[in-house]
């Protein structure tokens, strides 16, 4: 049986792992290579490196971070944050990423998804969607949650899948950093609309939140950062909890 | 020396990294004639079955020749599918034909999650070991490995482990010194490294 994936997100800035509250106010949580090593030992299924302040001059630093993490783990590794074109994606993959995640650039140039899927296969192309509840719908925001668009999350998820994205990384802006639980309605709405897997993100605070998103939320994977970073809970404990609630996980 | 075949269908970084970690001597061969001097051949692959067509005809001939001389061969992901006769994904493209059968699109069964059947099959799934093989030496029943694919090989006499996702498909195959894995051993933690090590020992 296919296991539900537990994914650790490393929000990286200047080579250090940080974590924001609602995308703002960053505090440091350590060295990315050391964290990846710890997660691997604890049984994490996948790692995402998110460059939260990606700029042109920082891309070389990012490549070093990707390489440092890739040396520590033999698990799927995804890189996102500021990937604007094929050259950025090439550099991330060359440095050791198995998948790249596109957010703002995919909305601006959806054909980029198709180009990357042709080049690397759909399994390497993740579309990241940051959504916020507004008048009964889920509106997409870009530029790290700072800029509203006219796009609806469910409708864009469908289009992105048609254009070649292989997975959707769906973040609830309302829940991100709050530890009040994943937005299961948002996640289920997108998961039911597409034929590709959906990774739920934003709001993980307790083990039961993961049970909820894997049942009511119909998610295939769940991503969290701070719940793992500060050793508040071990990945292994979370998996034990999920298994005892009938959620299939890799042990 | 292991030959890592690069036919331009995806990145080899992860495979290189795992082989380096295991202390393997390997290189991407410059041309088909290079295979004469190799002790093992790895055909990795992600992407479309049609992409394997670029292996033909010189590479296909050279790899078939190496197999004929007894050189161990490991196909990974698309590389496993290529060991068979062909695939629904690209009806015109010929596989190596080292194993009988044709690969087909994964289709959903009644046990689908939430009634939503997702293709590609992405994530960690378990191995059901169907018979003993050098390839899976030390791998336990139910051990999990990482998959990402839409097409799969049938369960035949060459199958050494099967996996269930909608259907039962061959997740690992082995016939003599020819072997293949549908999952990515280079991304499957300790279980994956063990399988790569088994191949490297065979190809030493």
CATH number of the domain to which B28 belongs: 3.40.50.880
pLDDT reported for residue A221: 97
Q: Hey, which residues of A are catalytic here? A: 11, 130
Residue A172 sits in a domain whose CATH number is: 3.20.20.70
State the pLDDT confidence band at A22, using cuts at 50, 70 and 90.
Answer: very low
Q: pLDDT, tens digit, for every residue of A147-195?
A: 999 999 999 999 999 999 999 999 999 999 899 999 999 999 999 999 9
pLDDT reported for residue A19: 63
pLDDT reported for residue B137: 98
Q: Do A75 and B187 touch (CB under 8 A)?
A: yes
- The answer to the question of residue A61 being in a domain is yes
pLDDT reported for residue A13: 84
**Which residue of chain A has the CA closest to B18?**
A74
- The answer to the question of residue A17 being in a domain is yes
Q: Which residues pair with A11 in a beta bridge?
A: A18, A50
Which residue of A1, A43, A71, A121 to mutate against B (max B Cβ within 10 Å)? A121
State the pLDDT confidence band at A245, using cuts at 50, 70 and 90.
Answer: very high
**Cα atoms in the 13 Å half-sphere on the side-chain side of A55:** 6
Q: Which of A83-97, A103-117, B108-122, B171-185 has the lowest mean pLDDT?
A: B108-122
Contacts of A197 in chain B (CB under 8 A): 118, 122-123
Contacts of B124 in chain A (CB under 8 A): 2-3, 5, 45, 250
- The answer to the question of residue A208 being in a domain is yes
**Which residue of chain B has the CA closest to A165?**
B120
Rounded CA-CA distance A199/A124 in Å is 14
Rounded CA-CA distance B125/B171 in Å is 10
Rounded CA-CA distance B32/B103 in Å is 26
pLDDT reported for residue B133: 98
Q: pLDDT, tens digit, for every residue of A134-152?
A: 988 999 999 888 899 999 9
Q: pLDDT, tens digit, for every residue of B27-42?
A: 999 889 999 989 999 9
Q: Tell me which residue of A130, A152, A151 sits closest to A142, measured CA to CA.
A: A130
Contacts of B165 in chain A (CB under 8 A): 2
User: For residue A82, is pLDDT > 70?
Assistant: yes
Q: How much of chain B exceeds pLDDT 90, in percent?
A: 70
Looking at the complex, report in whole angstroms how far the Cα of residue B111 sits from the nearest Cα belonging to chain A. Answer: 10
Contacts of A96 in chain B (CB under 8 A): 13-14, 17
Mean pLDDT on B119-123: 89
Q: Do B193 and A74 touch (CB under 8 A)?
A: yes
Q: Which of B77, B121, B149, B159 is catalytic?
A: B77
Rounded CA-CA distance A219/A76 in Å is 18
Contacts of A45 in chain B (CB under 8 A): 123-124
Core vs surface per residue A23-38: b (16+ CB within 10 A) or e: beebeebebbbebbbb
Higher pLDDT, A79 or A20: A79
**Which residue of chain B has the CA closest to A95?**
B13
**Cα atoms in the 13 Å half-sphere on the side-chain side of A129:** 31
Contacts of A250 in chain B (CB under 8 A): 124, 144
Mean pLDDT on A28-45: 85
Active site residue B184: yes
Q: How many domains does chain A have?
A: 1
Q: How much of chain A exceeds pLDDT 90, in percent?
A: 67
pLDDT reported for residue B47: 63
User: For residue A118, is pLDDT > 90?
Assistant: no
pLDDT reported for residue A183: 98
Active site residue B128: no
Instruction: Give the B-side interface with A, CB within 8 Å.
Output: 9-11, 13-14, 17-18, 21, 46-48, 113-114, 116-126, 144, 146, 148-149, 164-165, 184, 186-190, 192-193
pLDDT reported for residue B9: 57
- The answer to the question of residue A197 being in a domain is yes
Q: Which of B50, B103, B184, B201 is catalytic?
A: B184
Q: pLDDT, tens digit, for every residue of B75-85?
A: 999 899 999 99
Higher pLDDT, B110 or A250: A250
Looking at the complex, report in whole angstroms how far the Cα of residue A88 sits from the nearest Cα belonging to chain B. Answer: 15
Q: Do B120 and A96 touch (CB under 8 A)?
A: no
Looking at the complex, report in whole angstroms how far the Cα of residue B68 sits from the nearest Cα belonging to chain A. Answer: 31
Instruction: Give the A-side interface with B, CB within 8 Å.
Output: 1-5, 40, 45, 70-71, 74-76, 93-96, 98, 120-124, 166-167, 191-192, 195-197, 218, 220-221, 250
- The answer to the question of residue A169 being in a domain is yes
Domain extent for A103: 5-244
Q: How many domains does chain B have?
A: 1
State the pLDDT confidence band at A23, using cuts at 50, 70 and 90.
Answer: very low
Contacts of B11 in chain A (CB under 8 A): 93-94, 98, 120, 124
Give the count of beta carbons closer than 10 Å to the beta carbon of residue B105: 13
pLDDT reported for residue A21: 45
- The answer to the question of residue A83 being in a domain is yes
Looking at the complex, report in whole angstroms how far the Cα of residue B69 sits from the nearest Cα belonging to chain A. Answer: 32
- The answer to the question of residue A116 being in a domain is yes
Rounded CA-CA distance B107/B117 in Å is 8
- The answer to the question of residue A249 being in a domain is no
Residue A22 contacts by C-beta under 8 Å, 6 or more apart in sequence? A145, A173, A176, A177, A178
User: For residue B162, is pLDDT > 80?
Assistant: yes
């Amino acid at each position: 049986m296919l296991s539900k994936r537990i994914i650790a997100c490393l929000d990286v800035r200047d080579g250090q792992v940080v974590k924001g509250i609602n995308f703002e106010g960053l505090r440091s949580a350590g060295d990315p290579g050391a964290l990846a090593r710890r997660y691997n030992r604890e049984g994490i299924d996948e790692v995402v490196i998110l460059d939260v302040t990606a700029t042109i001059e920082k891309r070389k630093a990012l490549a070093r971070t990707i390489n440092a993490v890739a040396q520590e783990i033999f698990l799927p590794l995804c890189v996102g944050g500021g990937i604007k074109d094929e050259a950025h994606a090439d550099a991330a993959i060359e440095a050791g990423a198995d998948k790249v995640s596109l957010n703002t650039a995919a909305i601006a140039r959806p054909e980029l998804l198709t180009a990357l899927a042709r080049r690397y296969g759909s399994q390497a192309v993740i579309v990241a969607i940051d959504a916020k509840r507004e008048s009964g719908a889920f509106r997409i925001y870009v530029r790290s949650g700072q800029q509203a668009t006219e796009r609806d999350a469910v409708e864009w998820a469908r289009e992105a899948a048609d254009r070649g994205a292989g997975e959707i990384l769906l973040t609830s802006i309302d829940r991100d950093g709050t530890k009040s639980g994943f937005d299961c309605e948002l996640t289920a709405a997108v998961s039911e609309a597409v034929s590709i897997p959906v990774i739920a993100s934003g709001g993980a605070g307790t083990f039961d939140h993961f049970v909820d998103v894997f049942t009511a939320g119909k998610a295939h994977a769940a991503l969290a950062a701070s719940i793992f970073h500060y050793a508040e809970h071990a990945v292994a404990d979370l998996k034990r909890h999920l298994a005892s609630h009938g959620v299939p996980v890799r042990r | 020396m292991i030959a890592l075949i690069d036919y331009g269908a995806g990145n080899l970084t992860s495979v290189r990294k795992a082989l380096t970690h295991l202390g393997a001597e390997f290189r991407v061969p410059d041309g088909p004639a290079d295979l004469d001097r190799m002790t093992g051949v790895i055909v990795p692959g992600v992407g479309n079955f049609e992409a394997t067509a670029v292996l033909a005809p010189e590479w296909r001939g050279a790899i078939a020749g190496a197999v004929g001389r007894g050189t161990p061969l490991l196909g990974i992901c698309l590389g496993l599918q290529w060991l068979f006769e062909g695939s629904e994904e690209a009806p015109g493209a010929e596989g190596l034909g080292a194993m009988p059968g044709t690969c087909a699109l994964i289709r959903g069964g009644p046990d689908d999650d939430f009634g939503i059947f997702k293709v590609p099959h992405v994530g960690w799934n378990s191995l059901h070991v169907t018979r003993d093989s050098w390839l899976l030496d030390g791998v336990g029943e139910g051990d999990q490995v990482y998959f990402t694919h839409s097409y799969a090989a049938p369960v035949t006499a060459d199958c050494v482990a099967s996996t269930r996702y909608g259907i039962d498909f061959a997740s690992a195959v082995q016939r003599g010194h020819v072997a293949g894995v549908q999952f990515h051993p280079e991304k499957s933690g300790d279980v994956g490294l063990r399988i790569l090590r088994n191949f490297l020992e065979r190809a030493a």
